[in-house]
Structure 1
């Protein structure tokens, strides 16, 4: 039996622990919250479509920059910057696998101005106990996939997202406590310095 799946479920339950009921957050309030995040750092747990679990640290510098740094023994990095996403496998191919950020649903929350009220962007908006769940896509390119964003309120906080890519696979990211408004070094998002020496 794969013991990582129950651990992932436990991590998700603990991360989203909150009062039993809350009003659904308005899309305008969620957009304002996301636009208010300039820099952020948080621990994360990633559950891939095959059930495998990874942990690491997420760094965010809006607009357009994000870094997933995985905990050992995984030495991979995923960087988003300058309109591109790069996957770096330190133990494998030294060249990054890259593709346009615009082709991923993560571009929605990395946009310079997040506006979830745009026509055809939000395909679902509901409450689930203490959580508000927003399903969104690029209205011009729904074929690129979609993202489910899970928030808690009082104050508004992003706790989890699920990316559904164009192949039909789903990857879940569960966030720990997020620190915002912190200084992040430029090297963290530099494709030429994937180790990110400047913190």
Structure 2
């Protein structure tokens, strides 16, 4: 007597996995939502303003950092002149103290901004290209970086203006400082305005020495 199981045996059918009890749904019907979503994402990315300008923006970040680093050398020289002038002009003491604080902030930001440049340059990959995260990440980094640098430049200009007025500098020197541009940059990369805020006069000029 042969023992076995037939396909008609209800117990045999109960032991079979569900995948064998019914036919699988067509793959196409399940893929349609995914394909549609991918199409919408890619289409949207192509219309995102500034697409393809990431490398140009990275170059501008690097240029801004170079200018900011170069400005530190001059600022350190100016700080020495300002410290020495406090004995001659006691009213400059608060200005000198504020200048030192700005100088310390300047040094700290140089290291921070170099790290941000590396972070921006490292943003890559297929997912970043599809979702445009590379463009948005680089743009966000550039905007924040310029804003922080501009605050430092503006504080230096404030110090120059205070020195000019406290020591009674010639009107021409005062005008040269007070007419320097402040806090201006566009928010849509890569059309950022270059930051060139270095005054045309020095603190030594303002002191008349």
TM-score bucket of the superposed structures, by smaller chain: under 0.3
Which structure has the highest helix share of the two? 2
Give the strand-richer structure, 1 or 2. 1
Largest Rg, 1 or 2: 2
Q: TM-score with structure 2 length normalisation? A: 0.27
TM-score, with length taken from structure 1: 0.28
